[in-house]
Amino acid sequence: MATLKDVAKLACVDVSTASRALNDSPCVHPDTKARVYEAVKKLSYHPNLLAKGLRQGKRHTIGVLVPTINLSVFAEISQGIEMEARRLGYETVICNTMDDPAAEKECLNRLRSSFQDGLLIAPTGSNSKLIRDIKESGISVVQIVRRQDDHISSVVSDYRESGFKGAKYLVGRGCRHIGLIDGSMKIIPYRERYDGYKEAMAELGYEENFVESPVVRGDYFKDGYDGTNILLDGNPDLDGILAAADMHGIGAIRALKDRGIPFPEKIKIMSLSGHSIGGMLETTMTSMEMPSVAMGKKSVQILIDEMDGPAEAVPSKQHVMFHFSLVERETT
């Protein structure tokens, strides 16, 4: 990793001049600044902004990277993060990645260079090296919802349990042909939900009906809508749908209405990652509810514990797992 000394050497200036140039000091000639900036670009230099912040006083700002805050558990998690951060004297900056690895990388680099004291991220798994580099540079990082790297602290829920108990619940409601509309298997919560569903179906001796949505999602509702049609076309006897999240479930409801299929009379629907919106629908949705606000608050507490630890100490990793709770509503 390039240092300020490397930048100064390439720009043919001393370290103090390079530092003043990067701080836009009027004492540095414009031509010298231009050489320093060019050296920064060539070396891909990232200053240790956390160390600088500690010398100048913390910025008291936390960067948050989530796929979306649109009608999802991430909206409530972000609310929990903001509430707890504000209580502890921190502000938050939120970036929506839409689970696009390129957008995630851009957000990480932008937050890394904007004086964040720490980062909370729901990672896609595609930028693990960059995230580790950021952490090794001295910026605290905690994973939320998705534990993609065992070497970085995390706050997650038991997604396998959600898939297993969700499938068992629908069987208890009389379903025998249960389909799962899930996300990309490259993202751990979706994979673990599938594993739980698969385990339950195998234990009960029932056939799997599984749809995997795209890696990069711009429209969860459409994923749910299209996934339902795929399930119905593949199995006309379908009598139960497990949706990875509420937005998938809402898309499934619309698909059933468009086909004139009554629910829950013919097909029962439930979400495996529910939040408050499920109770506000015209036909309220049964779900495995995630304690999203509590998860957001806990992630902030762990992050600040790491940030407030001695600079020379390596913070111990914390992996916290929350459990889902079943909330029965009208769709089952």
* Per-residue pLDDT band at 315 (split at 50, 70, 90): low
Nearest to 326 by CA among 249, 263, 272: 272
Percent of the chain with pLDDT over 70: 92
pLDDT of residue 215: 52
pLDDT, tens digit (0-9, with 9 covering 90-100), for 6-39? 889 999 998 888 878 877 777 888 889 889 889 9
* Per-residue pLDDT band at 54 (split at 50, 70, 90): very low
Q: What CATH code is assigned to 57-157+292-322? A: 3.40.50.2300
The domain over range 159-289 is classified in CATH as 3.40.50.2300 = yes
Q: How many CB atoms lie under 10 A from the CB of residue 302?
A: 23
Q: How many CB atoms lie under 10 A from the CB of residue 328?
A: 12
* Euclidean distance between CA atoms 248 and 225, whole angstroms: 7
Asked whether the predicted pLDDT for residue 1 surpasses 80, the reply is no
DSSP codes, 12-47: TS-HHHHHHHHTT-TTS-HHHHHHHHHHHHHHT---
- Evaluate whether 286 touches 269 at the Cβ level (below 8 Å): yes
Of residues 55 and 114, more confidence is placed in: 114
* Per-residue pLDDT band at 55 (split at 50, 70, 90): very low
Asked whether the predicted pLDDT for residue 71 surpasses 80, the reply is no
* CA dist 106 → 3, 68, 309, 315 (Å): 21, 16, 28, 27
Do 57-157+292-322 and 159-289 share a fold? yes
CATH superfamily assigned to domain 4-45: lambda repressor-like DNA-binding domains (1.10.260.40)
- Estimate the crossing angle of helix 30-43 against helix 4-11, to 10 degrees: 120
For residues 64-69, give the mean pLDDT: 92
Q: Where are the beta strands (DSSP E) in the chain?
A: 61-66, 91-96, 118-121, 140-144, 154-157, 178-182, 209-212, 240-243, 268-274, 286-289, 319-322, 325-327
Domain ranges across the chain: 4-45, 57-157+292-322, 159-289
- Evaluate whether 148 touches 107 at the Cβ level (below 8 Å): no
- Evaluate whether 120 touches 97 at the Cβ level (below 8 Å): no
* Per-residue pLDDT band at 58 (split at 50, 70, 90): low
Q: Which distant-in-sequence residues (6+ apart) come within 8 Å of 15 by Cβ? A: 4, 5, 8
For residues 47-56, give the mean pLDDT: 52
Q: What CA dihedral angle connects 145, 150, 152 and 157, to 10 degrees?
A: 20
Average pLDDT, the chain: 89
Token pair of 254, please?
A: 């619309």
pLDDT, tens digit (0-9, with 9 covering 90-100), for 137-179? 888 999 999 999 999 999 999 999 999 999 999 999 999 999 9
**β-strand pairing of 286-289 with 240-243:** unpaired
